[in-house]
Structure 1
Amino acid sequence: MNSELIDLVLMASPVVQAVMVILALMSIAAWSVAISKSYQVRQAGKVAKQFDQTFWQTQELTSLFNQVVQSGEKPKGMASIFEAGFREFVRLKKQGVAHTSDLMAGTQRAMKVAYSKESEQLENRLALLATVGSSAPYIGLFGTVWGVMHAFQSLGNVQNATLAAVAPGISEALIATAIGLFAAIPAVIAYNRLTNQVDRLLGEYENFAEGFLTIMQRQAHSLETGASGQNNA
């Protein structure tokens, strides 16, 4: 069976063979992205869960910020959002900004930038899976149509057209569709699965950011109250 399949591929027209090669490369690329992104998202989820637990167990955010900065590694995920927001909050406070709205606006902007960067990293290369899933069947169908057309054209030189004469050409043409489906189906499944996981993880980032902003807003309000009390005195 395997030898017959190989023979059909080798006997296919150059255009159909080129289609098969393209689909094979697309399938390899899709599997590579699916495996690497699955590992990345799984690791990001573990890191997010660990940092979220550490954050809510920490009594002093300054010490947590120092741990993140002095860890020697670039903050990722929730740690990156926390580091960006807390750094901006401290910077504005050192500049003498005391109004709660100003402090929160600056902190929120910094966190949005960090969130966007993390979102971009998580969603990077997912579009390739969507592209393979949507285009591979059509590329395979093109190869099939071309192969069938080539098979029927070859019958023009045959006086007695029989099923045995046209069957090999149609069989080799249908292989292109099969390869297209083989490339597309796993890509679509991986895309839907990874997109769902990324959306859920980004939702956890947003929930963390909201909780962190609430804490910083209380601190900013206490600073504003203290500053206004000193002015009144």
Structure 2
Amino acid sequence: MKNLKNFTAASLLGMSALLPLQTTFAEETKAQATAVTTEIANIDKAAVHVPPPLPEQASSTVEKTHNPYGLEAMWKEGDLVAKVTLFILVIMSIGTWYIIITKCLQQGKIRKQGQHAEKNFWEATSLDSATEGLDDASVYRFIAEKGIKSTKNHGGTLLERIDFNTWVTISIQRAIDKIQSHLSGGLAFLATVGSTAPFVGLFGTVWGIYHALTAIGVSGQASIDKVAGPVGEALIMTAIGLAVAVPAVLGYNWLTRRNKAVMEEVRTFGSDLHAVLLSGEISTNNPINRDMK
């Protein structure tokens, strides 16, 4: 009986010793489970809130490479001959566009004057009043004044020996020729630029290639990267020469065709005026109109 009591007491003591250990293990297991759950939640939360990388951010930036050869480098490093050649081409280009624009405006102005003269000149009661109705700067008024003046200055002078018809024809033709000469001014410059600008650019190219090859020979480096840059830079001159010549040639042909159309209208007016002047004596008291032809 005594042994049974001792066994029971020992069992109770053992169980009382195991209870704190089980409680501690349960608390540690619970803490670990809570930590794992919290870590998983944080991972899910981070996966939800972190945006994906943008394509612009993912792509690598391309660095711009500096080109040591070009028009700017050619101007800075070029000698006097290269700079003078480039300056001549620039002057040619500026002159070409100036002439094209001014001649186009001039031709348009004369066409408007022709429309005004065709509408109002022949409706007047006399040539004097018809002439006064034209603008002071009108080429048609210039022709009319020259024609009227030729009839008034014919008698009583050495010009009287010339036939009246011939003298009036000469006077009107001189006025028309003067207008044509004024219209044609500058076209010779366009023709010159169109024919010489490519050769000026070619001269600049040859000069640049010569200096590039000389520099390469002195340095002793004849690799493709050392040759291609300077030679390509020299070829810019040829491109500039062509860019100057092409507008000059096109402008010359275009303005020449327009001049022919404008002068055809001017000659028609001069022919009609010539017929009116030969139809009778010019006087403000003796009206002359187009029906008298």
**TM-score normalised over the length of structure 2:** 0.65
Question: Could you tell me how far 1:120 is from its partner in structure 2?
Answer: 1.7
User: 1:22 is matched by which residue type in structure 2?
Assistant: I
- Provide the rounded CA distance (Å) in 1 between the counterparts of 2:111 and 2:204: 41
Q: Contact 2:213/2:227 (CA < 8 Å) preserved in 1? A: yes
The partner residue of 1:218 within 272, 279, 283 is 279
Residue 37 (structure 1) aligned with residue 103 (structure 2) = yes
Q: Deviations over 1:152-200 (max 9, x none)?
A: 2222223341111111211221111111111111111111111111121
2:258 equivalent in structure 1 = 197
| Secondary structure of the corresponding residue to residue 92 of structure 1 | coil
2:131 equivalent in structure 1 = 65
1:125 equivalent in structure 2 = 186
- Normalized per residue, which structure has more helix? 1
- The one of the two structures with greater contact order (alpha-carbon pairs below 8 A, sep at least 6) is 1
Q: Contact 1:23/1:180 (CA < 8 Å) preserved in 2? A: yes
2:139 equivalent in structure 1 = 77
1:22 equivalent in structure 2 = 88
Structure 1 residues 129 and 78, CA, compared in 2 at 3 Å: closer, same or farther? same
The partner residue of 1:90 within 129, 152, 175 is 152
- The 5-angstrom pairing of residues 38-53 of structure 1 reads 38-53=104-119
Q: Deviations over 1:89-146 (max 9, x none)?
A: 23436x59xx9x8222221121122112211211112211111111111100000111
Q: Contact 1:9/1:172 (CA < 8 Å) preserved in 2? A: no
How many residue pairs end up in the alignment?
212
Question: Could you tell me how far 1:214 is from its partner in structure 2?
Answer: 2.1
1:107 equivalent in structure 2 = 168
| Larger-gyration structure (1/2) | 2
Q: Contact 2:194/2:249 (CA < 8 Å) preserved in 1? A: yes
**TM-score normalised over the length of structure 1:** 0.80
Q: Contact 1:23/1:179 (CA < 8 Å) preserved in 2? A: yes
User: 1:144 is matched by which residue type in structure 2?
Assistant: T
Q: Contact 1:47/1:77 (CA < 8 Å) preserved in 2? A: yes
- Provide the rounded CA distance (Å) in 2 between the counterparts of 1:218 and 1:48: 23
- Provide the rounded CA distance (Å) in 1 between the counterparts of 2:106 and 2:214: 50
Q: Give the gaps of 5 or more residues in structure 2.
A: 1-65, 282-293
Question: Could you tell me how far 1:62 is from its partner in structure 2?
Answer: 3.2
User: 1:51 is matched by which residue type in structure 2?
Assistant: A
**What percent identity do the matched residue pairs reach?**
32
- Provide the rounded CA distance (Å) in 1 between the counterparts of 2:240 and 2:132: 53
Q: Give the gaps of 5 or more residues in structure 1.
A: 221-233
User: 2:277 is matched by which residue type in structure 1?
Assistant: M
Residue 157 (structure 1) aligned with residue 223 (structure 2) = no
Question: Could you tell me how far 1:2 is from its partner in structure 2?
Answer: 9.3
Cα RMSD of the aligned pairs, angstroms, is 2.5
